Structure 1
Amino acid sequence: MLKRITLLSVLLFLNYGCTQKSKKVEYKHTNALVHETSPYLLQHAHNPVNWEAWSPEVLERAKKEDKPLLISIGYAACHWCHVMEKECFEDEEVAQMMNENFINIKIDREERPDVDQIYMDAIQMMSGNGGWPLNMVALPDGRPFWGATYVPKENWIKSLKQLTDLYKNDKSKIVQYASDLANGINAINLVENKKDSGIYTLDQLNTAVTNWSKYFDDFLGGYKRAPKFMMPNNWDFLLHYATASSNPEIMDYVNTTLTRMAYGGIYDHVGGGFSRYAVDTKWHVPHFEKMLYDNGQLVSLYAKAYAVTKNNLYKDVVEQTIGFVEEELLDEKGGFYSSLDADSLDEHGELEEGAYYVWTKEELANLLGDDYKIFADYYNINSYGLWEKENYVLIRDKTDDEIAKKHDVTIAILKEKLKNSLNTLKEKKTERSKPRLDDKILTSWNGLMLKGLVDAYRYLGNGAYLTLALKNASFIDKEMIKEDHSLYRNHKEGNSTINAFLEDYASTIEAFLALYEVTFDETWLNHSKKMLDYTKLHFLDKESGMFFFTSDEDDSLIRRSIETSDNVISASNSIMAKNLLKFHKLFPQEDYGEIAKQMLKNVQDNFDESAQGYANWMHLVLYENENFYEIAVVGKNHKDLGKEISSNYLPNSILVGSEKEGSIDLLKNRYNEGQTLIYVCIEGACKLPVTSSEEVLEQLKD
């Protein structure tokens, strides 16, 4: 099959990327996308290309007209998507060729990750590369036969002409190639059910981490490469591993990475929050788009790291990042928007990446006056912090103590001066044109942000974070959960649409369970369990023991995907496996634990050489090989004691509580009038009850 694919390599292209375009006042053209709500699709609603959204009806029409599909996939914050739109899709010559010869479909990858997954696998099989915009040409039934990412106008026209001629004159060759490719797309997604395997051992895990550590950048954090991507699930697992195994080297690496990221330009020192990734090795110059999913996961990670280290830098990052999300991405009803674009209008009215965030030396000196000298030293307004075109991206490389000592000021004075300077810059930014907002609300990303808020409350103790978390959870409950406990994927302008995918269920189940642990409100536990049972019924593949990405109630595509590799966001199956194991502790009569174990067995062979891509899965190895504790708090003081216990970093545990008796087995027959008792249990077998959080921590050491 691979031989056949390379025969068409002359038709393959190029680069990799992802941004946007400016508003038009009058529209010469309007297409079917004008009826959509996705900001990305609406950006293309006035192209001369006759774009349509993905639907079974459009594919049916393609079959009747015998026209190939031209499928173009991107997202609202994607830079190169906007470049290609301007060069190709706004061009009337290009549009005429596309309209005459193809059925043209635009897809927001964030709305339809199910479609995006399939065609991303296809382009990677064809060319070895992937990215957005992702442009595919497919048979009317959706089987692809050509693909490219960003393509400039002349090459785009040339490619489409070749493809049109090939489709008209040698269709049988295309059909054969598309069939072979479709077989390959299905084959790479198969997961073997490894029933006879044993559970991965701690010795094997130690070896896997040792192999993995060869790629660690111990000086600058992250990995020895550029660009540098933030991988929250990687460092979340390594934090768990380092504390569980008392491994100072791994702990140092995690701290180095989190510190360097917080010091770097990838972190917005003025407005809070993280950008998508850094183009260099020192986390300096970001790709300036800000995504909800990054920030939600990083809030969670830094909150946990604060619980372990009590490093105030991590606390500051959590507080400032939540401040950014609340200020820029919070809908009035409690949902969180998806992203801010990388591009914004510069002083000349032109779209430019990073224009909203960068500073010139002259501008900073004029704004900050006497405080400029300390600020410039702290944030490297020098050759280390210079980006391009005399623009600086703020970056730290020294501690507060070093800067204070150098300038002969106290830490308190230093912090006050920096706070005032940053406030001045934030005020100045209000005069700049803000990046465009993608205001669709995605269930899975909201689940990640909700989990971040819960962890922030849990480990920092700020009640405002719980209030915000409850507001978001209530939004999900009201707007995204249907009567049968299934979910919607997307919410925009008051309407919830698109059946949810596994990632939506996985992240929401995880977040609601975490919310239960800090509130002991069984509403969230019950919602979480009902969603879990819904996924078992409609997503579980009995043959492989894994969960499909799409429900059995959705329209079929050329493949029903099974997502196993952890990426920037953890694989939906790895989140589900962790959910199942935790629910097994609460409902041992169900088969949740058996399913979770089998899922782990199915993927664990990948850990030896690909630990980075399975980091979230590897928590399960620690759960299975070490004691996992159920902690039950029962009595009038259950909430206060629960809060004390949960402020400690205890990854191998689940916490339940009630004033008298709750509905789950761990809370039955535990109530003793006049006392609040805490039970530390393993698989339902409990130690003698204690009355303080200190005693609980002692029992956990046994």
Structure 2
Amino acid sequence: MEKKPNRLARESSPYLLQHAYNPVDWYPWGPEALQKAQEEQKPILVSIGYAACHWCHVMEHQSFENEQIAQVMNQHFVCIKVDREERPDVDQVYMDALHAMGLQGGWPLNVFLNPEAKPFYGGTYFPPQNWVQLLQNIAEAYRQNRTELDQSADQFAQHLNRSTLSQFGLQQSNPDFNPDDFGQLYQRLKARFDIKRGGTMQAPKFPMPSIWMFLLRYYYHTQDTAALEQLNLTLEEMAFGGIYDQIGGGFARYSTDEEWLVPHFEKMLYDNGQLISLYAEAYQATRNDLYKEVVLETIAFVEHDLTRPDGGFYSSLDADSEGEEGKFYVFTQTELEEVLGEEAALASRYYNATAQGNWEHSVNILHRRQTDDAFAADQGLTPQELKEHVQNWKDRLLQARSQRVHPGLDDKILTSWNALLLKGLTDAYKALNEPTILELACTNARFLLQNLKTGNKLYHTYKEGKATVDGFLEDYALLIQALIGLYQCTFDENWLREAKKLTQHTLQNFYDPAEDLFFFTSAESEALIARKKEIMDNVIPASNSVMATNLHWLGLYFDNDQYTSLSEKMLAKVRDLVVQEPAHLANWASLYFLKLKPSAEVAVIGPDAHQERRLLQQHFLPNALLAGTAEPQDSVLPLLEGRTALNGQTTFYVCYNHACQLPVHSVAEALDQLKSQK
């Protein structure tokens, strides 16, 4: 029987399009579905997932493609499908509702609402027989006990509208940023470390870049070698593990085990953007060549698999291909021998592959357990000989893998995730000084500003030539952050001007003066049953912590006390929670680091300004702001006013709190001045 399309066939989201031929009478989120529920006084089923979600695919196949189950759904509910990546605001509200019900969150997320869109029950994945039973029970309960369910929904709606600060017991601001509490913060975080395999304890293991970015800053501030050792252990174990694609570069979303071996194989743009930043900064701090290799290979993966010709970055690659999770990435011993011939034995030792396999169904997840130097010594090879072998294996295995059926691509462009990758590219360029990385960054920034911005308003998503969905705070905050990074790589003030315009728009449309924090949604956007604020740093940092950090840097660049003061107020609001729960507020903890000592303001003026900038940026200087110009010009930046190249030589001005040290003419002298204030 020929399948008929439902309303989702008119959508652009790859996740919604995956459900376009389900027998379920799906609606996209919007007024049509909500109005139908009101008119027919039917309960609403909101089902939320994303294109790379394995269990979302399983539930679709088992339940949403089943004619009998679809008939039950259509008869009793108005059914709405939501792409959580396209509508994080909807996801956030109903995920919070699930937590309020005392239930474990995750995706797929299935929530039942009354016709006013207020939730009264929910869950995640359900096997088909359980799902049908649940649907029938809820339909019956709604007929028999609607008053009680509506009362319950009202209570959940009230709960969702609680003040963000009262929710976390943060009624009093605490502006005391001191080294003792900063040390306590680290000790609480340290208690969660896995000192054997890196990361934090217990599986599943997520990379959580914000935690390790903070650890770099803590080490910079304290020179505590134990912090650096834990950071190096984590970064090395992740780079050696199956969570890292040893052949094609790039990281999977998380590891299902404690040893980083078995990933959940989907690759997300937001993870890889942040991990490029993390490994680039770690390379600046340690000069470990492994970190440089990871940065370059991950960028190469993004260029090859996630980049549009005009510079936008796609969202993700699926975990599955041909209906099997990870099939694209794994090799049997026989396949390795077919591809590598006589080299297979050595390659198998390097990648820990065996005839029995190291994963299910006798397949191997390629991974490492030794540094290249140690492996080369064990095998009687020089490091250079091993390097040539490894590159040969990678080239041949990548070529063989390219002939396989590829995982599904989610080809929508998200402003926030693109901004994370853009920031990663700026950090990589600073660390490695590779011009092609900067070219890729500038192309992406121009793409975003041309296609996802109208006036000073951003849109969240772009597909098939059209930008849709009003931008969320994460779009503004993360793009502002990336534009600041791009200025630091180029000294082109246009990038900072764009950042300032977006900041002003954010202050006008997202800021809540009652709490000195920003709402996730704009005052101009569709109103949901609750308007939320995001303060907990997760796999992606909280949009408020990013915005507070942006205000710190922009306050210095533009000598704007409003920005600086608001940054301090925002951190003061959550400061006690940061000290108590640093694992969940790690990006705020990095802002705490910035508030302990004045940030250095470094101006580089003169004919070799760009060359000197590149040399200076190869050093890890997390509490330094950099500005400069090769020629005297009209600048919007107070830091450059009246600055000249003394005696025609490129000159460094290192300043703290509007007081400058003696001008110097070399990177070495500027670094000495920076270290003396560290």
TM exceeding 0.5: yes
Taking the TM superposition and a 5 Å limit, the aligned residue runs for 1:290-689 are 290-345=267-322, 351-382=323-354, 386-483=358-455, 485-658=456-629, 659-661=631-633, 662-672=635-645, 674-689=648-663
Superposed CA offset, 1:250-288 (max 9, x none)? 100000000000000000011110001011111001000
Retained in 1: the 8 A contact 2:664–2:670? yes
Q: Distance in 1 between matches of 2:31 and 2:277?
A: 39
Equivalence for 2:69: 94
Retained in 2: the 8 A contact 1:581–1:596? yes
Counterpart of 1:496, as a letter, is A
Deviates more, 1:363-372 or 1:278-287: 363-372
Counterpart of 1:71, as a letter, is V
Pairwise CA distance, 1:96:
1.4
Counterpart of 2:482, as a letter, is A
Q: Secondary structure at the match of 2:135?
A: helix
Q: Distance in 2 between matches of 1:196 and 1:603?
A: 7
Q: Distance in 2 between matches of 1:408 and 1:362?
A: 25
Deviates more, 1:625-634 or 1:470-479: 625-634
Equivalence for 2:151: 176
Instruction: Identify if the C-alpha distance between structure 1 residues 547 and 385 changes in structure 2 by more than 3 Å, giving closer, same or farther.
Output: farther
Equivalence for 2:665: 691
Pairwise CA distance, 1:196:
5.1
Q: Secondary structure at the match of 1:591?
A: helix
Deviates more, 1:436-445 or 1:379-388: 379-388
Equivalence for 1:126: 101
Q: Distance in 2 between matches of 1:568 and 1:700?
A: 32
Q: Distance in 2 between matches of 1:479 and 1:414?
A: 45
Retained in 2: the 8 A contact 1:630–1:681? yes
Q: Distance in 2 between matches of 1:231 and 1:383?
A: 34
Normalising by structure 2, report the TM-score: 0.97
Q: Distance in 2 between matches of 1:63 and 1:314?
A: 56
Equivalence for 2:21: 46
Q: Distance in 2 between matches of 1:385 and 1:114?
A: 43
Retained in 2: the 8 A contact 1:385–1:395? no
Q: Distance in 2 between matches of 1:198 and 1:150?
A: 43
Q: RMSD across aligned C-alpha pairs, in angstroms?
A: 1.4
1:267 to 224, 234, 244: 244
Instruction: Identify if the C-alpha distance between structure 1 residues 401 and 153 changes in structure 2 by more than 3 Å, giving closer, same or farther.
Output: same
Q: Distance in 2 between matches of 1:177 and 1:593?
A: 43
Pairwise CA distance, 1:380:
0.8
Deviates more, 1:535-544 or 1:191-200: 191-200
Pairwise CA distance, 1:409:
1.4
Retained in 2: the 8 A contact 1:539–1:548? yes
Pairwise CA distance, 1:304:
0.4
Superposed CA offset, 1:332-368 (max 9, x none)? 11000000000002xxxxx100000001112112321
Taking the TM superposition and a 5 Å limit, the aligned residue runs for 1:137-216 are 137-187=112-162, 189-190=164-165, 197-216=174-193
Q: Secondary structure at the match of 1:617?
A: helix
Q: Distance in 2 between matches of 1:261 and 1:193?
A: 35
Taking the TM superposition and a 5 Å limit, the aligned residue runs for 1:229-308 are 229-308=206-285
Q: Secondary structure at the match of 1:560?
A: coil
Counterpart of 2:406, as a letter, is K
Counterpart of 1:664, as a letter, is L
Pairwise CA distance, 1:590:
4.2
Q: Distance in 1 between matches of 2:129 and 2:376?
A: 57
Q: Distance in 1 between matches of 2:583 and 2:165?
A: 20
Q: Distance in 1 between matches of 2:354 and 2:183?
A: 42
Q: Percent identity?
A: 46
Q: Distance in 1 between matches of 2:566 and 2:32?
A: 37
Pairwise CA distance, 1:185:
2.1
Q: Secondary structure at the match of 2:588?
A: coil
Pairwise CA distance, 1:611:
0.7
Instruction: Identify if the C-alpha distance between structure 1 residues 84 and 188 changes in structure 2 by more than 3 Å, giving closer, same or farther.
Output: farther
Instruction: Identify if the C-alpha distance between structure 1 residues 513 and 652 changes in structure 2 by more than 3 Å, giving closer, same or farther.
Output: same
Q: Distance in 2 between matches of 1:201 and 1:579?
A: 21
Q: Distance in 2 between matches of 1:193 and 1:606?
A: 8
Q: Secondary structure at the match of 2:201?
A: coil
Retained in 2: the 8 A contact 1:290–1:341? yes
Q: Distance in 2 between matches of 1:465 and 1:616?
A: 25
Retained in 2: the 8 A contact 1:47–1:90? yes
Q: Distance in 1 between matches of 2:378 and 2:649?
A: 56
Superposed CA offset, 1:576-595 (max 9, x none)? 00000011111223400111
Q: Secondary structure at the match of 2:46?
A: strand
Unaligned runs of 5+ in 2: none
Equivalence for 2:44: 69
Superposed CA offset, 1:561-602 (max 9, x none)? 100000000000000000000111112234001111111011
Q: Distance in 2 between matches of 1:188 and 1:285?
A: 40
Pairwise CA distance, 1:289:
0.2
Pairwise CA distance, 1:667:
0.8
Instruction: Identify if the C-alpha distance between structure 1 residues 619 and 409 changes in structure 2 by more than 3 Å, giving closer, same or farther.
Output: same
Deviates more, 1:262-271 or 1:369-378: 369-378
Counterpart of 1:396, as a letter, is R
Superposed CA offset, 1:604-632 (max 9, x none)? 11123311111100112211112311111
Retained in 2: the 8 A contact 1:193–1:543? no
Deviates more, 1:447-456 or 1:200-209: 200-209
Q: Distance in 1 between matches of 2:600 and 2:371?
A: 38
Retained in 2: the 8 A contact 1:385–1:394? no
Q: Secondary structure at the match of 1:680?
A: strand
Q: Distance in 2 between matches of 1:432 and 1:84?
A: 26
Count of matched residue positions in the alignment of Structure 1 and Structure 2: 671
Retained in 1: the 8 A contact 2:376–2:382? yes
Retained in 1: the 8 A contact 2:175–2:571? no
Retained in 1: the 8 A contact 2:332–2:357? no
Pairwise CA distance, 1:38:
0.1
Pairwise CA distance, 1:27:
4.5
Pairwise CA distance, 1:61:
2.5
Equivalence for 1:15: none
Q: Secondary structure at the match of 1:487?
A: strand
Counterpart of 1:28, as a letter, is K
Unaligned runs of 5+ in 1: 1-25, 346-350
Retained in 1: the 8 A contact 2:175–2:568? no
Counterpart of 1:78, as a letter, is C
Q: Distance in 1 between matches of 2:5 and 2:335?
A: 42
